[in-house]
């Protein structure tokens, strides 16, 4: 039975790398994959999923008002995917998460979503909140805080290195302004000596 999967993490944990590897594994076995990514994410160009280690692939884009169920069902038979992989899934709407669930339940297509769980204020993104509620399987892709403990939160800094507590939930680009932290150091607003040193250089 096909399932809806949610693979979540903080920034720079390798979500896109894992997605591209999963797509490669399917295609290596002669199967078709449909890659989706948020239109708002243009860091490597609109419609491109890229990883920090240099891997990238073209993808279909989705916007908040797109019907993902119709997008897949309207594909010609020879283009129907054996698996759907969604990057930046936190930018989906609740309605879109349910559309993906329908594709898994009714169309028997596995759907693998990859995204951030929370923003820099510790609040759930809309797409992530929906996926945490309805996904069949959830997996945390782990990365570490500067102290060596598991990072579960992310902080955003301004150009001077001051920790931001307000602002837009979505800020594309400027990955150097984000740092993944354990819950303790997130609460303490402690970005660690390495990042503090980088800001001074």
* Strand blocks (E) in 64-174: 83-87, 111-116, 137-140, 153-156
Catalytic residue among 56, 88, 129, 175: 88
Tell me the whole-structure pTM to 2 decimals: 0.81
With a cut of 90, say whether residue 90 has pLDDT above it.
Answer: yes
88 is catalytic: yes
Does 46 have pLDDT greater than 90? no
pLDDT at 197 over 50: no
CATH classification code of 4-140: 3.40.50.300
Cβ atoms within 10 Å of 47's Cβ, excluding its own: 16
- Name residues whose C-beta falls within 8 Å of residue 179's C-beta, 6 or more positions apart in sequence: 11, 146, 154, 155, 157, 191, 192, 195
- pLDDT (tens digit, 9 = 90+) per residue, 148-190? 999 888 888 777 777 777 766 555 555 567 788 999 998 998 9
Tell me what pLDDT residue 175 has: 58
The pLDDT of residue 154: 87
Residue-wise pLDDT for 110-148, tens only, equals 999 999 998 888 889 999 999 999 999 999 988 889 999
- pLDDT tier, 32 (very low <50, low <70, confident <90, very high otherwise): very high
- What does the pLDDT average to over 73-87? 96
Rounded to whole angstroms, how far apart are CA atoms 192 and 138? 29
Mean pLDDT in residue range 39-61: 82
Tell me, what's the pLDDT at 176?
63
With a cut of 70, say whether residue 104 has pLDDT above it: yes
pLDDT at 85: 98
Q: Could you give the count of Cα atoms lying within 13 Å of 101 in the half-sphere of its Cβ? A: 17
């Amino acid at each position: 039975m096909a399932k809806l999967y949610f693979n979540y993490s903080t920034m720079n944990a390798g979500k896109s790398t894992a997605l591209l590897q999963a797509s490669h594994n399917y295609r290596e076995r002669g199967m078709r994959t449909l890659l989706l990514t948020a239109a708002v994410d243009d860091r490597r160009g609109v419609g491109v999923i890229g990883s920090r280690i240099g891997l990238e692939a073209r993808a279909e884009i989705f916007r908040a008002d797109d019907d993902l169920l119709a997008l897949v069902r309207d594909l010609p038979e020879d283009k129907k995917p054996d698996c759907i992989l969604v990057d930046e899934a936190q930018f989906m709407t609740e309605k879109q998460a349910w559309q993906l669930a329908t594709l898994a339940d009714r169309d028997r297509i596995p759907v693998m979503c990859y995204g951030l769980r929370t923003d820099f204020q510790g609040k759930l993104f809309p797409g992530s909140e929906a996926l945490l509620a309805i996904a069949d399987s959830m997996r945390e892709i782990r990365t570490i805080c500067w102290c060596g403990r598991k990072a579960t939160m992310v902080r955003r800094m301004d150009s001077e290195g001051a920790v931001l507590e307000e602002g837009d939930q979505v800020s594309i680009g400027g990955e150097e302004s984000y740092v993944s932290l354990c819950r303790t150091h997130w609460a303490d607003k402690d970005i660690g000596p390495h990042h503090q040193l980088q800001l001074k250089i």
